[in-house]
Amino acid sequence: MKQRITALLAALPLLAAACRTVAPLSAPGREVAAGRTADRAIEAAIDESKVVLVGESHDDRAHHEFQLDVLRRMSEEGGGPVLLGMEMFQRPWQQHLDDYVAGRIDEREMLRRTEYFSRWSFDHTFYAPLWRLCREKGMRIVALNPAAELHRKANRQGLDALSADERAALPADLDLGVASHRERIMKVFTGGAHPMPPARLEGLYLGQVIWDETMAESAANALLAAGRDARMLVIAGSYHVQEFDGIPDRLLRRAGSAAQPMTVIVMRRAGVARDDDPPDARLGDFVVRTPEDPLGEAPRAGVRLGAPGNVVEDVVKDGLAAKAGLAKGDVLASIGIPGGEIDVRDATDLRMALDLCHEAGMDGTEVTVVRGGARVGVKLVFAAAAPSQ
């Protein structure tokens, strides 16, 4: 019989009934619904846990600041190695994360080699403090996700469409029969205005299970390989961890006592209710509510770059680049960042620079292009967000 969610809850050291809304660990002034007692409770849970899973909203800077507090606390406790599992990276690119932590490549090269901006795309400054702390302390970053191409093929064409090598790159045991998980995820897929055919819904659910099983397997393998004293922080979207199924139950199935005690923390924006949310007591061991990020979304240039990587292939109508006067055929040479500028080789450099400008609160930046053999300076003004490049 499939492991039911009630059995999982019984195995967890902190029952869902103990769930409470708490302040971030080091965030004075944030809107919260509980005081220091709750802070001490969440700190104690983190200190006692082998695995802490934090479910985030990907575009919320405050959520990532909280994750950094958790990782810092775990890293300062002493004992065995601490690992950081990240949904944001895909398994085939693990070696580049190892090279970054070991100091063999820098951050920009790590982002380039992991194809971060095309495979994840959210503002890298949200996550950079996490991976910089890992590099500083020699903590391994674990790529949790499957390759996007493989996931996409499986959820659109089914497992039978995969070659033997492709199927071998996914977990052997994909449990599609966890009733609580299926019910929760299917509510999301069927909540739109236009009903989808049953076959498509099943494909989408298969895709969700592939995500969750692969991330659980990646975390379990890394945790077990790191030794009996290892601990791990797993960060992923809240739908992958909330209500204790998705990654948590599948990780326990694989790692057993190596993953226990386990704590599930779900992040939510203060004052924002989701129609499909259960009571906090079922969301996770703790629910942390933070205010909306005042910076909003990072700007996008509104260009598509082609070979050799920094040549403008297309300009989005009414985007930032179009308003600045950039045109097809321009070669991006450099772009301003806080305190200086960087050379542009490809879209990684452009996206990284725009994220840094946004983080610093800049209202625009200078871009140098080569046009007709001459260097020309233009100004990108971040008055409004442009369509994604």
Whole-structure pTM value: 0.88
Looking at domain 5-290, does it have CATH number 3.40.50.11550? yes
- What are the tokens at 98? 């190892």
**Secondary-structure class of domain 303-381 per CATH:** mainly beta
31 pLDDT above the threshold of 50: no
Band of residue 273 on the pLDDT scale cut at 50, 70, 90: low
Domain ranges, ordered by start, for the chain:
5-290, 303-381
What would the mean pLDDT of 179-191 be, rounded to a whole number? 92
Band of residue 37 on the pLDDT scale cut at 50, 70, 90: low
Of 218-232, 260-274, 359-373, the one with minimum mean pLDDT is 260-274
Q: What is the pLDDT of residue 58?
A: 94
- What are the tokens at 104? 């063999």
Please check whether the two domains, 5-290 and 303-381, share a CATH topology: no
Q: What is the pLDDT of residue 266?
A: 92
Q: What digits encode the pLDDT tens for the residues 246-260? A: 999 999 999 999 999
Q: What digits encode the pLDDT tens for the residues 291-335? A: 877 777 889 999 999 988 999 999 999 999 999 999 999 999 999
226 pLDDT above the threshold of 80: yes
Q: What digits encode the pLDDT tens for the residues 53-66? A: 999 999 999 999 99
One-letter amino acid for residue 13 of the chain:
P
Q: What is the pLDDT of residue 3?
A: 35
